[in-house]
Structure 1
Amino acid sequence: MKLNDFEQYVDDIIVERGRQYYQEKRIGDIDNQQDNRYVIAVTGSDDYLVVVQLDEQEAIVEAGCNCPYTGGPYCKHMVAALLALREEEVQTVAAKRVSSEKKAGTVLPVKTSLREQLKSGLSCQPKEKLINLLLDIAENDLTIADEIKAEFSSGSDEKEKWIRLMRRYIEQAEDDDGFISYRNCQRAVEGAYKVVARARRACDEQEYELAVDLALCVMCEMTGMLESADDSAGDVSTVIYEVQDVLVQITDTVPPGPEAEKCFLKILHEADQRRYHNWSEWRMDLLHFCIAVIQNPRQREQFEQYLKKISLKMEEKDQDAFFREYESEAIALLQYELIDKFDGKKAAVDFLYAHRNFSRFRELAIQEALAVQDYAKAEMLALEGEENDHKLPGLIIKWKEFRAEVYRLTKQLDKMREVGRELALSGNFTYYQKLKSMYEPAEWVQIYPGILVEFAKQSGYINDNYTSAIIEEQEWEKLLEYVQKNPHRIVEFYRPLLTKYPEQVYELFKEEILQDAARSSKRSHYKNICSRLRLLVKIGGNRIAADLVKHLTFEYMRRPAFYEELKNVKVK
């Protein structure tokens, strides 16, 4: 994938959203660090950094972003950054070309994009001809007709025109029964992205009421669409995140006054709709945006009354304990935001402490205690959390991490080591490495053998800590013993064993290949076996590989696919 054609390898919707960010000039500095490695700042709902590594031919070797998007390998921030980087590269190349042309006295043709070509051709056409062209296109495509109507509408009917466009895309994606399949879901939300883009422009133009109306109508249509759509790829959820991004922009920029109050009332009204009965998280997000534009005690009272109403409804609903706990915590967090905004720091901290039975409140309370250097309180809250949440391993680890931080800040080395050992045995190997850093090398050689024994007793994925630790400590004999008991992992661990135990490594390859051949039945399996035979040849086991090829060819002569693959293994 190269910088000049990366769009071919990225979902069309992600490309469109990234192009929109690029056109909105959300790209900050492009930092060319060294060896074609770039760090590019992109502004979305937060400021994100995109890292891009190019090779000498401008192929994209590596690209990543620190945003929370998990819907695919590329996000809109990466697309925007790559577009900006491409523009910079084009300008750099053009500047070099002009310089060389001046020196040589020649003029070379410059490649232009399709957009630039069309712009060049259309800009010199008469207005009437362009209008007729648009009319001809629109008559043959109702979606384009709806988009033109929406784009050039204004006043009271603009919102309805954008809703019509959004629904047009949804209707086109539905099957005869009105259901939207997994394959068509991405197409169904394209209209929603266009409405989101218009809402963002409205906010930029300080048309805050229109921006809120459009953002909320997307929420309405998307939640309704979920009733009859397979959104297993997360297309609808991604649109909702885009809407939330717009709402952040609105609530951050709308000035105090009548417009802010209208935004508050519209968002609160939307949150109260029955369609969020099964989408509690999105309702809570909307209420969070309400708090950002509350300006006076009257609005606060109205908001608090609504929180009481949904609390009562929640108690009446037939929910399991987990969802009841989730909603109770979410409502309490909204109350905390209000108190923090209007009643001052002390009242907010007191509220945190009083609601520390909720994990998020306990976490915030510990962070507050650390911030004011009340380490005894932070330790007490963490220990209390470990006791209360003893059936929840993830939370126990979190509270232990806070204790470790307390002991680090208070220089209590023995307690740091104690909790460090507990964390090391919890499943994440980085804790083992952190624990090791707490000891001098002479001390550590007395400590780690006991931890290896504990690791060896563990089962499942967590046992990878055992192999990671014996490699960390270069206990090659123990690694060999482990692989001999688990020969299916020889490909994973042959490298550190090959120098000291070459013959044992070859025999383990042989054992695993024979076992795998006995249970294989498809060409893809045979290809995997042959790739291991080639690897065996590459690492010096040519004689054993040759014997294996002869044996397998004879043993499985009635499997023509296997026979064909074996013929392609080159052995001496």
Structure 2
Amino acid sequence: MLIPFESFENYIEEKILSRGFSYFEDSQVNNLVEIKPGNYEAQVLGSDEYCVKMVLEEGLIVKHSCDCPYDYGPVCKHMVAVLFAIRETSIKSMNVNEVSKVKNRKPLYQQVEEVLVKIPDVELRKFIQENCTKNQEFRNTFFASFSDLVECQNKDYFAKQIQSVLNSAAGRDGFIGWAEMPRMVRAMEPFLDHSQSFYNNSDFEKVFYFNTALLEEMTAAFEFGDDSNADIGYHIDFAENMLYQLANEDLPEELRITFFTYCLTSFQKKIYEGWNWHLSMLNIAKNLSKNEDEADEILKLLETVNGKYEIEEAQSIQLSILRQFKDEDEVADFIEHHLDNPAIKRSEIEKAVKHKNFKKAKEICKDGIEHNKIDKPGLVTEWYNWLLKIAQTMKDSEEIIKYARILFIDSFRNEQDYFEVLRAQIPREDWPGFVQDLLSEIKNQHGRVKNELLTKIYIKEAMWKELLSYLKINPYLQNLQYYEPYLATDYTPDLLKMYTEQISKYLSKNVGRNHYQTACGYLKRMKNLGGVAEADELIKNLREQYNNRPAFMDELNKI
């Protein structure tokens, strides 16, 4: 999302904005520099030191990033702190009284350019050579940035460069902690960019060398790195995706054979055993195979796979290979003996439906329901959904009602609005009785799903009295807030009474500013409902009851 810089406060959550401003006011933003026009970088001190990057173009924030672990929204408090710092810098630079200061505070990119122009080439080379020798992080950045200029770029070369980056990020104990991971990610960025450039320029050999090296080194890094932010996993995914893309290219035969052999060998040597990409090697090899002999090599290895889910995935790869290289009888025989595999079953249902062989499709679905009813309710739901879609395709009203009713009551994954599907099939004069029968059946059930279904029907059928009765039995604050819009017109006094009771109960069990803010939020809802007098009376009582909680008194003052 593009955010206007001059009014960024209007686009950021109030809580994040407030915390970011506090960081800015407390001078927690350090080393703010304009690397090049509109490109800013700064360090922000929080529970750790975080690197924030901002790109402004034509008055808009077009890019922003922070290496903190916050992932609940697009902008974190550290980014907000930097935005305030950039604004302050911009305002000062326009102040005529600050001209002398601005002259001595040129943007970083200008300072760098002025120095580079003055340095003789010999001195610059000497500086780079000396720092590459004594500073490992500088050396990593240098080789990562210009790795495409190195003549001998084989797998060993890339492996050593990646190892160097990992080693420089590791602490004295050889472990890459959570705080060091962002440094590793930044150092690897140029390598990933070069890999993409290699691919775009059809330099497929380098793509193969780099990404096999990356996959191996990052897999090994799980042993000495904290991947709680999935930084290592990100590089694994990058390498695996690049190898899949590469396998679908028209490769030179020598490289294709090398690549194919690597996939088989890495699987045989169990380089990636225990990880998802262990089996991916055979899937990639499948995409590279050109003849039946190569297919047989893969099939032989697939027979050695262990583990329930791994075997199911292996069988799907086997079927794909059989369809490509074997005759129809062998394919049909394999399917018949492995139809308990959900992926194969799904594929056969899709195939039968596509060819309008609905009888066969229904038989497969019913077999799946019977086979999975004890231990795999998710798959049972999927097979029922297929039966419903088949019935809809065939315009079979009786079966549509049958399966939509089952799915409405028992499904926890809704592909359609089953209630509306039922409404469309039941004659209008029969609908009220059908709904009452449905409610009776649901009321005999137990658990959370029962209440969800009941309230869903109450809302869809505008059964507000029944919804209010449910709410009086379950008057939790979250429920009150959720169902308030449906009941406010006719039952405001009841809602206000329940709010009063539940807010008081909530405060009797919870202490702390966050809880006080929550309670005050519900007090505001009472006022918005028209219960100003009721809310004020409750606030008065709460002030008397909790006058020893200054944080709560502070929050009440904000209402």
Matches of 2:457 and 2:109 in 1, distance apart? 56
2:388, 2:403 within 8 Å by CA — same for their partners in 1? yes
1:208, 1:263 within 8 Å by CA — same for their partners in 2? no
- Secondary structure, aligned partner of 1:181: coil
Unaligned runs of 5+ in 1: 10-56, 61-70, 75-112, 315-323
Alignment CA distance shift 1:162-1:119 (3 Å):
farther
Matches of 2:174 and 2:327 in 1, distance apart? 52
Moved more, 373-382 or 218-227: 218-227
1:517, 1:529 within 8 Å by CA — same for their partners in 2? yes
Residue 523 of structure 1 is matched in structure 2 by: 513
Residue 283 of structure 2 is matched in structure 1 by: 288
Matches of 2:60 and 2:442 in 1, distance apart? 45
Residue 396 of structure 2 is matched in structure 1 by: 412
Residue 427 of structure 1 is matched in structure 2 by: 412
Matches of 2:258 and 2:113 in 1, distance apart? 40
Counterpart AA for 1:469: I
1:400, 1:419 within 8 Å by CA — same for their partners in 2? yes
Residue 400 of structure 1 is matched in structure 2 by: 384
Alignment CA distance shift 1:2-1:164 (3 Å):
same
Matches for 1:234-313 after TM superposition, within 5 Å: 234-255=230-251, 257-279=253-275, 281-308=276-303, 310-311=304-305
Alignment CA distance shift 1:183-1:440 (3 Å):
farther
Alignment CA distance shift 1:520-1:307 (3 Å):
closer
Counterpart AA for 2:280: D
Matches of 2:262 and 2:349 in 1, distance apart? 36
- Secondary structure, aligned partner of 1:202: helix
Instruction: Compute the TM-score of the two structures, normalised by the length of structure 1.
Output: 0.72
Pick aligned residue for 2:352 from 366, 369, 373: 369
**Shift of residue 203 of structure 1?**
2.9
Cα shift readout 1:434-490 (whole Å, capped 9, x = no counterpart):
333333544433322332334443422563232222112111111111111111111
Matches of 2:359 and 2:114 in 1, distance apart? 70
Pick aligned residue for 1:354 from 337, 347, 354: 337
**Shift of residue 205 of structure 1?**
3.0
Pick aligned residue for 2:440 from 448, 453, 460: 453
Alignment CA distance shift 1:195-1:444 (3 Å):
farther
**Shift of residue 377 of structure 1?**
0.6
Alignment CA distance shift 1:559-1:446 (3 Å):
same
> Would you say 1:149 and 2:143 are equivalent positions?
yes
Pick aligned residue for 1:559 from 549, 553, 557: 549
**Shift of residue 547 of structure 1?**
1.0
1:146, 1:161 within 8 Å by CA — same for their partners in 2? no
1:353, 1:365 within 8 Å by CA — same for their partners in 2? no
Matches of 2:285 and 2:187 in 1, distance apart? 26
Residue 326 of structure 2 is matched in structure 1 by: 343
Pick aligned residue for 1:176 from 140, 162, 172: 172
Alignment CA distance shift 1:181-1:436 (3 Å):
farther
Residue 511 of structure 1 is matched in structure 2 by: 501
Counterpart AA for 2:166: I
Pick aligned residue for 2:159 from 160, 163, 169: 163
Counterpart AA for 1:299: E
Residue 91 of structure 1 is matched in structure 2 by: none
Matches of 1:227 and 1:346 in 2, distance apart? 47
Counterpart AA for 1:219: L
**Shift of residue 133 of structure 1?**
6.7
Moved more, 344-353 or 485-494: 344-353
Residue 21 of structure 2 is matched in structure 1 by: none
Matches of 2:139 and 2:393 in 1, distance apart? 64
Matches of 1:535 and 1:479 in 2, distance apart? 19
Matches of 2:169 and 2:4 in 1, distance apart? 31
Instruction: Compute the TM-score of the two structures, normalised by the length of structure 2.
Output: 0.74
1:362, 1:381 within 8 Å by CA — same for their partners in 2? yes
1:195, 1:215 within 8 Å by CA — same for their partners in 2? no
1:196, 1:214 within 8 Å by CA — same for their partners in 2? no
Matches of 2:483 and 2:108 in 1, distance apart? 50
2:271, 2:278 within 8 Å by CA — same for their partners in 1? no
**Shift of residue 130 of structure 1?**
6.3
Residue 29 of structure 1 is matched in structure 2 by: none
**Shift of residue 294 of structure 1?**
0.8
> Would you say 1:473 and 2:461 are equivalent positions?
yes
1:487, 1:508 within 8 Å by CA — same for their partners in 2? yes
- Secondary structure, aligned partner of 1:178: coil
- Secondary structure, aligned partner of 2:387: helix
**Shift of residue 232 of structure 1?**
2.8
**Shift of residue 115 of structure 1?**
8.3
**Shift of residue 255 of structure 1?**
3.1
**Shift of residue 125 of structure 1?**
9.3
Matches of 2:402 and 2:547 in 1, distance apart? 60
Identity of aligned residues (%): 21
Cα shift readout 1:61-103 (whole Å, capped 9, x = no counterpart):
xxxxxxxxxx8867xxxxxxxxxxxxxxxxxxxxxxxxxxxxx
Matches of 1:139 and 1:303 in 2, distance apart? 46
Cα shift readout 1:330-350 (whole Å, capped 9, x = no counterpart):
221221121122125665455
1:470, 1:478 within 8 Å by CA — same for their partners in 2? yes
Matches for 1:109-124 after TM superposition, within 5 Å: none
Residue 389 of structure 1 is matched in structure 2 by: 372
Residue 537 of structure 1 is matched in structure 2 by: 527
**Shift of residue 305 of structure 1?**
3.1
Matches of 2:60 and 2:423 in 1, distance apart? 41
Matches of 2:549 and 2:383 in 1, distance apart? 57
Cα shift readout 1:290-313 (whole Å, capped 9, x = no counterpart):
1111112332233233334x34xx
Matches of 1:270 and 1:191 in 2, distance apart? 27
Alignment CA distance shift 1:376-1:199 (3 Å):
same
Matches of 1:344 and 1:124 in 2, distance apart? 73
Matches of 1:230 and 1:213 in 2, distance apart? 26
2:158, 2:209 within 8 Å by CA — same for their partners in 1? no
Alignment CA distance shift 1:386-1:207 (3 Å):
same
> Would you say 1:226 and 2:226 are equivalent positions?
no
Residue 502 of structure 1 is matched in structure 2 by: 492
Matches of 1:256 and 1:300 in 2, distance apart? 19
Give the superposed CA RMSD: 3.3
2:381, 2:413 within 8 Å by CA — same for their partners in 1? no
Matches of 1:157 and 1:338 in 2, distance apart? 34
2:215, 2:236 within 8 Å by CA — same for their partners in 1? yes
Alignment CA distance shift 1:532-1:540 (3 Å):
same
1:487, 1:511 within 8 Å by CA — same for their partners in 2? no
Counterpart AA for 1:148: F
Alignment CA distance shift 1:137-1:460 (3 Å):
farther
